[in-house]
Amino acid sequence: MATSVEQPQTLIYVLGVTVIFLASALIGIMYLAQIDISQEYTLYNIQYSSTVSRMVNSPTCFALEESFELPEGYGTETQVQAGIIDWWKFNSGITKVCSDGRIIYAYLSSLDGTLQKQLLTGRDPLTALSDSDLESIDNWNTKQEKYYVLVYKDSQLIPAILEVRIKG
């Protein structure tokens, strides 16, 4: 006679476990479906890294390129000093090769405050940026990082901070 009571209980257990399993699976799938890695965000970071890396390390941008004499008969050789900014190049502005079509804001300031220079793609590097330009840059919702660099100016290395922002 005991089985008449146990059989419905077993059925309830099976039904209950099945319901819980299905509900859990459904909720799990719904939760996993919510995970979304922003493709736009990913590309933006790679773009930022590659652009700043080129600015700091490439002689086509701001990196210092020095020439030195090889032993007699071997001529001269050039060496790129990655991470060292050539003040002359920076003062000349951001070239098209360097910016690769992007709108870039670069701010170089020495730690002792003697050097300060702001650049914006498409603006005359010899003219200070206008207030409207600076206000516009402030509104860029973009990644912003500081790099510790050395600036080569008048045969001297000057510690400085390079700040780069790229318009998205």
Partner 1 sequence: MKKAGGAFLTELLLATVLVLIIAAGFFGIQHIPGFSLEPEAKALIQSVGDNEICNVNLLNLIRSPNEDGTLGDTLITSYLTKDYTVFNETTTNILNQVMLRRWVMNLSINNRVEATFGDPAGFVAVPCIAYVPLPQPFFSNCSFSEIQTGFDGYEINFTTPDGNVTMEIVNQFVTDSDKIGGFGVYPTSEWTTIPETAIIGEPTTINDTLNADLLILQIYVGDESEEVLIPYELTISEPSEDPDGLTEVHLTKKDLVQQCSIALNLFVELNNE
- CA–CA distances in Å: residue 48 to residues 120, 121, 123, 139, 145: 15, 15, 20, 17, 10
Q: What is the distance between the alpha carbons of residues 142 and 106, in angstroms, rounded to a whole number?
A: 13
Of positions 88, 122, 124, 159, contacts partner 1 by CB under 8 A: 159
- 101 counts as binding partner 1 under rule CB under 8 A: no
Site for partner 1 in 139-158 (CB under 8 A): 143-150, 156-157
Count the Cβ atoms, other than its own, within 10 Å of residue 96: 9
Interacting positions 37-66 with partner 1 (CB under 8 A):
37, 41-42, 45-46, 48-49, 52-53, 56
Q: Where are the alpha helices (DSSP H) in the chain?
A: 3-34, 39-57, 87-91, 96-99, 131-138
Q: Is 8 in the site for partner 1 (CB under 8 A)?
A: yes
* Residues found near partner 1 in the complex (CB under 8 A): 5, 8-9, 12-13, 15-16, 19-20, 23-24, 27-28, 30-31, 34-37, 41-42, 45-46, 48-49, 52-53, 56, 71-74, 82-84, 111, 143-150, 156-157, 159, 161
